[in-house]
Structure 1
């Protein structure tokens, strides 16, 4: 018996080295788009794109390999979609927090996550939130991401009369983005692995041929990470005052909660499909998984990227036969390999990554089917969460309306109990947040 078979318990889970490696490669192909999309989004916050590209690969590699070896589950991680948008568009652009300070917030959220996991508070918070709001949050983030993609492509533009309207589809960016969406959608229908990444690269090349992309070749240089690594500003976080004083609490809250929702939702979906959930409904080595997720965020912030979280695309590797941590390790090794070309991600224009944002946003709508839309206690909070995230450009607002609405309706229905103390505490926290925003 080989070291890998013993280390990852392959025989007991009915798999082998070859299957696990192929599954890891499948997972990598389905989520490798993040190497291009994450730098594009964080670049809008003023971060050095090449440095973010290298940091993205490094964080994804570290997190996935650590998950494989410590928890032995086929779960890959990388900087999270939605969280990177919140980092760039809300924290930096709307709240005017410098990106090094925002990275400091990511680091602190990771450290708090570690502490909350150690004392079991994460499980208490998780139990207080109705599962239907998990689905609504995922859907709301999907709409948020999709809207950003449409905006970046010029397909949707601002309008003083109607707020938004249809852009000029004859513009190269909009036309190529639509072509890219058709290409990625078609490849996905035919179940081509790596469809998103193929589509981004293909549309970028087509744009270069028609003169819509200006290529500025430069040598491969992993040293680009110097522009983002250890650039976080912790002193700036604790020194935020005035309009930012309580705002930093909001930032930390969103980073914590969205990562919690992403991680748990993805974890349950992937482990269930892999047949790893025990007869009692419990997930084996749950604490190791949660600790890995938190540690990955800490390392990612120091490298120079937003919150790192579990990826639902890991389900593609499970579908290909992945059952152990060797799948995740393989994915991590491939992210290490792609680091050598990561700086070239800055050559990809935002309209080329827009189709990926639109498609990923659409796929994130699937959990909405779990909501009982005929029950107002489910439907109203879920809808508030779903709609407020994209319309206010803030995940925090969506979470605030959804959780507060759910608590209020439980009180009106008369079904609130002492066991709901955590839910009421969260709702009160959000009400205080609304009052603070109104006073400002």
Structure 2
């Protein structure tokens, strides 16, 4: 006990073992929904046979990476496969662009390696300063709408498919609302909203489990045959196809994974650090390099195990709100992922789509809130942000949304006589995306 208090500097942060343990449990409860949601999303791309391995991979990548954050960076931040990026992986890269899931894993792996390199060099700070805030906020909000679209599609309220990066909307099905799955979806949606409004910890997890149980009772979904089983990695471990990345289109996929992961991590870590009271007077984050390096290692490890991008979770704020200030909080959270998540494959497999779809919609709501930070009085900032917000869900492609945003931002600034406000790196990125879109147009 004394070693933990000394290593994690309890006295420095004014915390106690009891506080840290409760904070770690709170963070786990708040983000444990990923154990059910991530396998469902990724199995769309990998097939139902991958589901058991995906539950194990989700728990293992979250547990190991969060423990690395605890022991190396000593921060109360938890990590897991990121929402939004798993949807991009499954619905855009695999289903929309036609890449195999093995190639998509290779893209995540390469993105993680790039992230690691940038995390230990000064290039990282140059890129951070080059991308305007309005674009960072817009990408986050656009991904939120993307997740909402996926949730509504999963439950059957809408029908849409993606082909070649273009969304094909095939109908709004109001009659679904009168079916058992439809009614249970809205029950879960309202239950989650009520729990969030009441500030109940673990609202998403509580809603998923409650809605599932009601679905089992009403026979809208079959009961689980068992609750626990041994973990397995047989379907996804080391299945990356690096050779399949040797084409121009794949470069856009890697770039999209990297951009979203990199800037989502920056925004999340900054927000969490501010909430925990870590920021210096100059607004800098202590041990930022360790935090970002841990995140990058998590992405690379996740790809090797067989999941989409692993990233720092904003849900860590729940543990910080409970008083968690040291790596001990993350150690508890990571340990719970390993102790519980690795063995609940049968339970996760029995969770129906109508129970997880409300979580996707609510996460979309959370992410959309970033848009309030965009200055809508400045059209050269707001219009490109709007184009990103529109393009990501309606093309089922984060990369297209980012590219359209970067190009329009640069063009609007130049033609309004404000070209000096555009960082040189943004000019280069606008040219790269213009060439990328020209390549896509030529390959159709």
Pair in the same fold by TM > 0.5: yes
- Report if aligned partners of 1:38, 1:84 keep a CA contact under 8 Å in 2: yes
TM-score (norm 2): 0.94
**Counterpart residue number, 2:140:** 138
Q: State how far apart, in whole Å, the 1-side matches of 2:203 and 2:148 are.
A: 17
Is 1:278 paired with 2:286?
no
Partner SS state of residue 278, structure 1:
coil
**Counterpart residue number, 1:255:** 257
* Counterparts in 2 of 1:372 and 1:166: CA distance versus 1, 3 Å: farther
- Report if aligned partners of 1:54, 1:222 keep a CA contact under 8 Å in 2: no
Q: State how far apart, in whole Å, the 2-side matches of 1:340 and 1:137 are.
A: 32
Superposed counterparts of 1:25-424, under 5 Å: 25-47=25-47, 48-157=50-159, 163-168=170-175, 169-215=177-223, 217=225, 220-238=228-246, 245-344=247-346, 345-417=348-420, 420-424=423-427
* Counterparts in 2 of 1:199 and 1:278: CA distance versus 1, 3 Å: same
- Report if aligned partners of 1:224, 1:343 keep a CA contact under 8 Å in 2: no
TM-score (norm 1): 0.95
Aligned length: 434
Gap runs ≥5 in structure 2: 162-166
Deviations 1:382-409 (A, max 9, x none): 1111111111111111111111111112
- Report if aligned partners of 2:231, 2:342 keep a CA contact under 8 Å in 1: no
**Counterpart residue number, 1:439:** 442
Partner SS state of residue 94, structure 2:
helix
- Report if aligned partners of 1:222, 1:339 keep a CA contact under 8 Å in 2: no
* Counterparts in 2 of 1:250 and 1:161: CA distance versus 1, 3 Å: closer
State the Cα RMSD in Å. Answer: 1.9
What is the deviation of 1:157? 3.2
* Counterparts in 2 of 1:193 and 1:161: CA distance versus 1, 3 Å: closer
What is the deviation of 1:375? 1.0
Q: State how far apart, in whole Å, the 2-side matches of 1:124 and 1:162 are.
A: 39
Q: State how far apart, in whole Å, the 2-side matches of 1:62 and 1:300 are.
A: 10
420-429 or 151-160: bigger deviation = 151-160
Q: State how far apart, in whole Å, the 2-side matches of 1:425 and 1:336 are.
A: 43
**Counterpart residue number, 1:7:** 7
Gap runs ≥5 in structure 1: 239-244
* Counterparts in 2 of 1:172 and 1:418: CA distance versus 1, 3 Å: closer
- Report if aligned partners of 1:144, 1:361 keep a CA contact under 8 Å in 2: yes
* Counterparts in 2 of 1:341 and 1:223: CA distance versus 1, 3 Å: closer
Deviations 1:186-225 (A, max 9, x none): 1222222111111111111111111111245257333422
**Counterpart residue number, 1:242:** none
156-165 or 278-287: bigger deviation = 156-165
What is the deviation of 1:173? 1.8
